[in-house]
């Protein structure tokens, strides 16, 4: 049973660290980490963890940053991805999107909400929990990782490569507006390639235009979504064409190859095999010998040169409302004075696709910021949420099994 004076002490210590927490966030947002280049921002985070007395601070072979406190038998991971998408049009921001801008209690910067905003609270929260003796029996990790280009790859490394630890529980710091999230849809990424015959555009009747072969497939994908699966919590399946590549001898030639890329969001009750067959069934019979459907594969090296090949299938996952991890999260919110709110889910995908979806490791989401601001021009986060989240991260370990 957590006594009221413990909550008061946590809140007092967080308040005393408020300036350092906000400055830490501003500094890590000022270090660009696009295209999974997280080395410099990882070094800055490592320096903060060393200054706070973490027992171990190091990079794994992929280049993710790990900070550990304790040697207990139970393992808790705080997962925060520290890579970001690009800034987009710099002129649209009105200021340097990496240097950031403070305005009306907000930090307006790339990565502020997705997802560097959770890192300061996690790092300071764990140090405060240690100082108050709230980590008894636990080994806790801060795990700052690469996620934007392949969800779940970094947790795969954590469990299967280094440190080769299977956590008992994980908290994902993707933005939740300080609510508890407990799942999201899965995803499979596909490419559909049509093969045609090249010819001079002036004699196009001698060719077979690969783009034209894909037009009925594109239209069928557009019209497929209403017929996809549905689930009371995770919602309706989704599908969209996201990109197109064309191979042609010149802009005056009939293209002999065209490829579209498809993002298919999977709800419960839908399998990747079913999703692939749904797409294949959309190909007109007369084109089935010249159009292929393939699952995408990720084997790009990280910035350290490390390669860990995985297919780009990401399972749906959800914890039940009464799961102990969910209930501990809800209790932590109440104890730090946040108003009751229903549990939720992300519309986008997170590292939960590996933790819970593939490995069966229970996880929840809790983070500052509004998920709808992710990847937007002018992305911002409320600084009072960043500070409040620190209280949650400090208290939460003591409530597991409470």
Q: Are strands 138-145 and 169-172 parallel, antiparallel or unpaired?
A: unpaired
Region 302-306: mean pLDDT is 97
Of the pLDDT bands very low, low, confident and very high (cuts 50, 70, 90), residue 259 is very high
Rounded to whole angstroms, the Cα distance separating 81 from 89 reads 23
Q: Where are the domains of the chain?
A: 4-184+316-399, 186-298
Alpha-carbon separation of residue 329 from 244, 267, 354, 364 (angstroms):
42, 24, 20, 8
Rounded to whole angstroms, the Cα distance separating 71 from 139 reads 5
Rounded to whole angstroms, the Cα distance separating 88 from 380 reads 15
Residues 50-73 as b or e (16 or more Cβ within 10 Å = b): eebebeebebbebbbbbbbbbeee
Q: Are strands 186-195 and 257-266 parallel, antiparallel or unpaired?
A: antiparallel
Mean pLDDT of the chain: 97
Tens-place pLDDT, residues 91-108? 899 899 998 899 999 999
Extract the runs of DSSP E, i.e. beta strands, from 252-320. 257-266, 291-295, 297-298, 310-311, 313-314, 317-318
Tens-place pLDDT, residues 170-220? 999 999 999 999 999 999 999 999 999 999 999 999 999 999 999 999 999
Most distant CA atoms of the chain, gap in Å: 83
**Closest residue by Cα to residue 58 from 304, 299, 301:** 304
Supply the residues annotated as catalytic: 83, 147
CATH class of this structure's domain 186-298: alpha beta
**Closest residue by Cα to residue 45 from 60, 57, 36:** 57
Find tokens 């549905």 and name the residue: 230
Region 42-50: mean pLDDT is 98
One DSSP character per residue, 209-231 reads -HHHHHHHHHHHHHHHGGGS---
Q: Are strands 181-184 and 344-346 parallel, antiparallel or unpaired?
A: parallel
Token pair listed for 369:
């910021």
What are the phi and psi torsion angles at 311 (to 5°)?
A: -80, 155
Token pair listed for 163:
């440190």
Res 402 pLDDT > 70: no
Residue 210's pLDDT is what? 98
Res 401 pLDDT > 80: no
Q: For the packed helices 18-29 and 4-16, what is the interaxial angle rounded to 10 degrees?
A: 50
CB 394 within 8 A of CB 129: yes
pTM of the complete model: 0.95
Q: For the packed helices 119-131 and 383-399, what is the interaxial angle rounded to 10 degrees?
A: 40
SS3 at position 311 = strand
Alpha-carbon separation of residue 212 from 196, 217, 221, 246 (angstroms):
9, 10, 15, 11
Examine residue 163 and say whether the peptide bond preceding it is cis (omega within 30 degrees of 0).
yes
Rounded to whole angstroms, the Cα distance separating 378 from 370 reads 13
Residue 139's pLDDT is what? 98
Res 90 pLDDT > 90: no
Rounded to whole angstroms, the Cα distance separating 377 from 258 reads 31
Rounded to whole angstroms, the Cα distance separating 201 from 125 reads 64
Region 273-289: mean pLDDT is 97
SS3 at position 176 = coil
Q: Following CA atoms 75, 80, 81, 82 in sequence, which dihedral angle do they give, to the nearest 10 degrees?
A: -120
Residue 88: which residues within 8 A CB-CB, separation 6 or more?
97, 377
SS3 at position 88 = coil
> Would you identify the CATH topology of the domain 4-184+316-399?
Aminopeptidase (3.40.630)
Q: How open is the CA angle 233-326-189, to the nearest 5 degrees?
A: 50
Residue 389: which residues within 8 A CB-CB, separation 6 or more?
117, 118, 121, 125, 173, 178, 366, 367, 368
Q: How open is the CA angle 279-243-196, to the nearest 5 degrees?
A: 65
């Amino acid at each position: 049973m957590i006594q009221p004076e413990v909550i008061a002490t946590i809140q007092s210590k967080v308040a005393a660290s408020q300036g350092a927490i906000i400055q830490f966030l501003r500094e890590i947002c000022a270090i660009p980490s696009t295209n999974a280049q997280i080395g410099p921002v990882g070094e800055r985070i490592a320096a903060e963890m060393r200054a706070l007395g973490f027992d171990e601070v190091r990079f794994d072979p992929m280049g993710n940053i790990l900070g550990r406190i304790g040697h207990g038998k139970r393992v808790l991971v705080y997962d925060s991805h520290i890579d970001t998408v690009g800034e987009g049009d710099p002129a649209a921001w009105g200021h340097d999107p990496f240097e950031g801008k403070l305005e009306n209690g907000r930090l307006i910067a790339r990565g502020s909400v997705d997802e560097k905003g959770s890192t300061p609270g996690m790092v300071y929260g764990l140090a405060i929990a240690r100082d108050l003796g709230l980590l008894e029996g636990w080994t806790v990790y801060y795990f700052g990782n690469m996620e934007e280009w392949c969800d779940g790859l970094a947790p795969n490394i954590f469990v299967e490569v280094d440190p080769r630890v299977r956590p008992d529980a994980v908290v994902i710091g993707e933005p939740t507006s300080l609510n508890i999230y407990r799942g999201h849809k899965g995803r499979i990424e596909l490419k559909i390639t049509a093969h045609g015959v090249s010819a001079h555009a002036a004699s196009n009747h001698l060719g077979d235009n690969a783009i034209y072969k894909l037009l009925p497939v594109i239209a069928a994908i557009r019209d497929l979504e209403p017929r996809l699966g549905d689930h009371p919590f995770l919602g309706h399946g989704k599908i969209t064409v996201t990109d197109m590549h064309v191979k042609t001898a010149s802009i005056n030639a009939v293209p002999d190859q065209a490829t579209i890329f498809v993002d298919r969001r999977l709800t419960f009750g839908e399998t990747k095999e079913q999703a692939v067959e749904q797409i294949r069934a959309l190909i007109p019979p007369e084109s089935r010998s010249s159009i292929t459907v393939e699952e995408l594969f990720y084997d790009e090296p990280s910035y350290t040169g490390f390669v860990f090949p995985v297919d780009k299938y990401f399972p749906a996952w959800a914890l039940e409302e009464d799961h102990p991890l969910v209930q501990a999260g809800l209790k932590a919110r109440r104890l730090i004075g946040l108003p009751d709110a229903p549990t939720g889910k992300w519309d986008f995908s997170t590292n939960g696709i590996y933790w819970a979806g593939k490995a069966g490791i229970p996880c929840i989401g809790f983070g500052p910021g509004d998920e709808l601001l992710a990847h937007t021009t002018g992305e911002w986060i409320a600084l009072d949420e960043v500070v409040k989240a620190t209280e949650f991260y400090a208290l939460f370990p003591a409530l597991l099994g409470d």
